[in-house]
Structure formats: structure tokens, C-alpha cells
A and B are shown apart, each in its own frame.
Chain A
């Protein structure tokens, strides 16, 4: 399983050493873990508990408290649908439904081919462009269910 093969990279290890003496380091270290792997691999979290000398329960307590941290590996392309107020009023929930129809899987699930996963986010701060979706960090504004398939095609592996 891919999850088991995730090991601490040397960069990550150096980052942890650098932050270890600083109080309140846990969340910053977790951010770095997610940046490296795209989610929180269990193997890595186990090792983290050792390195930071912090109980595993405390680490998972923090991971599960915050929406930003993910326990499941996302798809190769991560689609974030903004459901902030402005996007919601301008049909963000319809975009969510259209995506579900287009991909065949619901929110927080990876498509069977591992290409896409969708998540709902609260306000990306591009309210002037509502409704907005973000794919791998690239922002698409004023999206409609008609323009959606074209946008997705840009990210599909040929």
C-alpha cells in the first residue's frame, strides 16, 4: 500500500529538528508534512510522535480538529469548490452537483482512476469571481456547469 511506503524525507527531518526546540511547533510541523505528502500518512505521524516526543493521541487530536489537515490521500488533481457565501449565492452548490455528475464520485472521494478528488472549501477570497473553483492551486472564476467539463479536460492525463 502506498500509505506504508511514505517515509520521512531528509528535508522534513531537518525541518523538524529546526522547529523542535520552539514552543508550539506541532501545527507548523504538520503543515510541512501535508505540504510534502499531500496528506497525513499514518507512518509519518507515528514517526513524528517519536521525534517530537508528543503523544500520538495529541497529534491526532490536533489533526482532526483542523479542517485543513487531511487523513486521506487526495487524487492526482485536487479540485476545491468554494462554498463561501458569495459563491453559494451565485450557484456554488450547483457546481458541486455538476462536478459530482461529471466525475461520478461525491465530495471527499477520489475517482477510481485516481485522477480527481473534490473538496468543499470556505471562501478563497475571490468573491468578485464567484462561483470559483480551484484545481491544483489554479483559480477558475465565474464557472458554470457548461464550462466545467472543458476545465476538467485540461487536467486529464492524455
Chain B
């Protein structure tokens, strides 16, 4: 696009692109959508894309091969989807490219061995029927896996920048804010603050300069919703930031993104350059209106605390990312002292569609207090891990068992963790509770940014709590005392318990520390860092007591509490174990049953790993 777009020329372009797509479809053109998310990409997806292109060219097939954003079904990647037949191929290898092109695209017969459900080979129509997608509703991820994120034309053809048009020419700034307020959209970064209210606060302040900041510093370990959204639909974020700028009177935006996300950065850079070239960014009179806006990227540098608003702003200003007390809230006094609205990626991804489809439509989805959908990164001990988007109010059971396919290897569900290090473990008794902001808060967890980690009965709750505390202790900025010292004290206690040196008094001590951290810490990190421990004490006290009283780890995970024993029925006296034992704890002669002296055993596990007959058992 060489010339600056106006509203009229953008509409004309959209109409032209839509007509061209329609003509292609009528002409029998097929589409091969190849997932280009990080997981599929790194699993052979890049080579697969190249091979498909080559095969299609060779076969002179009437097919368009599109590299899209994440399709979500990461467990079975790389994924290839064929349209219009809606055929869904999983675990596709680069060497399968020729088969897909020759047998399916040219020959018209699906490649049965690559189908998700091979029994449906004849049916052909199965894209939406597979269990993983049946209960999902994609609003935030509406373009992920559908469009080519590196082409602005693809975005425009799918109603892209239509929301911006409406916001600029048919609505007043107050009207935009009212629409967002009415939609009931709440911040998806964790705290769940109403987005419209945030905008309202900033709009009410008089200032010569205001800012919009997109928080793309997704630091929660085990969560990648924002990255996938940015990789799959970068223009949606730019459009939303512009709409937010129009509503609040801001003319400048920053996207604060993790440096660990190179692909997302690259696609954002491409999108910004394309939008600038089209006259949608970086100039005055955008689309012929009186609106001016520009967006720049700023890289994070691996500090979890920078997900906190005030710390994030300090980092954009080039300083150490330490939080400051609120108020003043950033919406009033933020970046370089100017009013700044900070919205999370997923929050912003909802904006354009709320403007085009209206608040009424959006608020019809979800529960009474939590509207719309939520994207979760479903991972851990679940069969179908991947990226999912579900309406608020869905139950954990539906997510884990219907979408996720249940727990692998026939193990038992033990707990699910939402909200990452700021959330709590949810025990099986709440599997049927509808998920929304209020219900999760009531049981001691949070919706959080969207990590959803499933644990089975081989995972030890003490060990998991310790894992999260190690993380928050490492990431605590050290500015305020409750977080800096409280976190360390909790971690030390958990470590002692996991080594069998816990005392009964530790339980009350941990409860006191949790409460102090929760009430006295300066920022969200410290206030929520104790949540995993609180949840552990609330729902899994028996397991903690087993560690303290019986010096036993029921899950067999805490190494120091594990006892190795030799099963005399299986031992043939090969002496392998006694030879590798570094402590000389194993005695026994050749061809005689061996035994382990528990007082000498250092629990290194070497014998367990060495024994070929599986005669060494964990008790």
C-alpha cells in the first residue's frame, strides 16, 4: 500500500479483498492453513510450510498456503487445516507435504493417516467436531489460525480496522468509553478491573500528553496466551490501542513486550511498519479524521515484577522495575508523570470486536459479573495441552476432561493451578464450580493471566508450592519487607518440610506469614505470592502433615523423604546397585539378595536408576 488510506479507500479495499476471496472460493480454490505459532514452528512447522509450498507449485494446484498464528492444539502440532473442507491434520511432518497436496488438494481424498480422528476419514467435515474445539468460543483468538499475521490485507479483509472506523467517525470518545463500560469487559491481566473505568479515569484528566501502554510482559511461567495472540493477530492490538487513544485523548502508545518472545516482536514490527505505510499510524489525520497516534515497542528484560503497572512504567522509563505506591494511579499520573492507561494484550484483543459488534452482544457471553471469554494455556498433566478460549462460567471439569481429554497414563486428577505463582491450587471438590473472577477468589485462587496447570497424583503439593515460592523469591524486587523477607521465610520452611525436618508449629507460622505478606506488601506480586501456600494449607493439610509427622511424601516426589527398598522377590544378586551406591549403604553377596541400610542411604536414587530388573522400589 503506497498511499495513505482514508475511510472511503479503506472501505473500498476491504470490499475488493472480500470480493476477491469470494471469487477464489467460487473458483474452487482451497486453503492450506499451517500453524505458525512458536510451538508448531519449532517442531518442524517451518520446514513443513516450505515443503507444502514446493509441492503445491510442482503440482500446479489451485491452493493458497497460509502461515497462520497459533491454532491452539499444541500437543499434536504441527497442525494443518484444509479449507473449505475443514479437514484437520495433526502431527504433520515435513515429509507429509507431498501427500497432503497430491492426495487431498489435487486428488480430493483426505490423507487418513494424518487425521485427528482416523475413523472419520470418510466424513471429511471434522474441524469443529473434534472435542478439543467443541466447547471453545473464539473471540480474542478470532483471527489466530485463520489469517496470515504478516499481511495487513488479510486483517482488513476480516473486518480489520472496522472498529477504528466506527470509533473515529460514528462515536464520541465518551460514547466509546460507555460502550466498553456497558460490555462489562474486565482486565485480563489478573486483577479484573473494569476496563471502561480505567479509560474513564484517564479521559477525565486534563494533560498535554497521555499514553496508552499495552502490557505484553507475560511472565507467569506456564502461560503463553498473550504471545500467541500477538503472534497470530498483531493488528488487532494496534487497532485496540488506537481506539483506546481516541477514547482517552492519548496520542502515543507503547507495547512493553518480553524480549524472550522474538517471533511476537518480529510480527509486531511488521504490523507497525505496515500500518504506518498505510497511514493508520505515525501520522496525523488518520483515515481522514483529526486523530493522531503512534506506537513504539519497548522490550522487557526478564523481570516478573514488571507485570505490575507501576514497575512496568519504571521499566519503560529505563529504570529498575520497582513498583511505587498507588495512588496516584497510572491512569492519572503514569509514564513520565502523564495519564497512562495500561491494558493487557488479551483485554485489548476484545476491544475492536466490542466496538463493531456492540456491548450488548459481548455482555450476553459469560456470567453475571464476568463477561466474555477467557483464554487459558492448558498445560501440565493433561492429554491435550494447548491454548484454549472458553466462555466465562465454564467449569474446570469441562476444561480438563472435555477439552483437555483428561489425565494421561490413567492417573488421578489431584489439583489445578490458575493464576500461576499468584494463584492457588484448586482441589477436585471444586471441579464443577463455574469459573469467573468472584468464584475463583472465593476459593483462594484467581483467574490470573490464564495459566492453567493440571497436576496428577504423582505431583507433590509441597513441592509445587516450593517451586512457586522459589520463583517469587527470585523475582521479588526487594523493595518492601513483607515480600522480601516473608517469601524467603516461607521458602525456607517449605524446604525444611520437604526434607523431613518440618515441625507441627510450622503450619501456624506459615499461616501468619501468608497473612502478613498478603496485607502488608506494596504491590500485587507480594500480596499474592503467598497464595500457593495458603491454598496448600487450606486444601491439602493432610499431605503437609504426612511430610511433617510421618516424614513421608505420599506422591513420592520429595527425594529426601523417599525410602528405597529392594524387593527380595525380584533381586537376583547382580551387585550392580551396591557397586554404584556412593554411600556403601547396600550390602549383599553375589547371587544373594541385597538390602539397603536406611541409616546410611543418602537417597541419591542411583541404585534405582541402575537396576535393570526394577527390584528397587520407592516406598
Contact = CB atoms under 8 A, between A and B. Distances in A.
Interface string B589-604: 0000000000000000
A139 B38 contact: yes
A1 B326 CA distance: 48
Given A66-B321, A68-B302, A85-B420, A123 B380 contact: no
Among the interface residues A62, A122, A137, which one has the most CB atoms of the partner chain B within 10 A? A122
Given A67-B303, A86-B380, A121-B260, A129 B318 contact: no
B302 A128 contact: no
Contacts of A89: 380-381, 453, 455, 459, 464
A123 B74 contact: no
B222 A123 contact: yes
A25 B142 CA distance: 35
B224 A23 contact: no
A144 B530 CA distance: 32
Given A68-B302, A85-B420, A24 B317 contact: yes
A39 interface: no
A89 B317 CA distance: 36
A125 B38 contact: yes
B320 A65 contact: yes
B333 interface: no
A48 interface: no
B527 interface: no
Contacts of A122: 219, 221, 302, 304, 471
Contact of B43 (A69, A85, A141): A141
Interface residues of A, number: 36
Nearest to B467: A88
B42 interface: yes
Nearest to A82: B221
Given A89-B381, A138-B42, A128 B75 contact: yes
Interface string A35-70: 000000000000000000000000001100111110
A74 interface: no
Contacts of B464: 89
A27 B379 contact: no
17 contacts: A24-B298, A24-B318, A31-B299, A65-B320, A65-B477, A69-B301, A85-B379, A85-B451, A89-B380, A89-B464, A121-B260, A122-B219, A124-B38, A125-B38, A127-B222, A128-B39, A139-B43
Given A62-B318, A86-B221, A141-B42, 14 more contacts: A24-B316, A24-B317, A65-B320, A65-B477, A67-B302, A85-B379, A88-B221, A89-B453, A125-B218, A127-B39, A127-B224, A129-B43, A130-B385, A139-B42
Which 6 A-B pairs give the minimum distances between C-beta atoms?
Answer: A128-B74, A139-B42, A125-B224, A66-B301, A85-B222, A84-B221
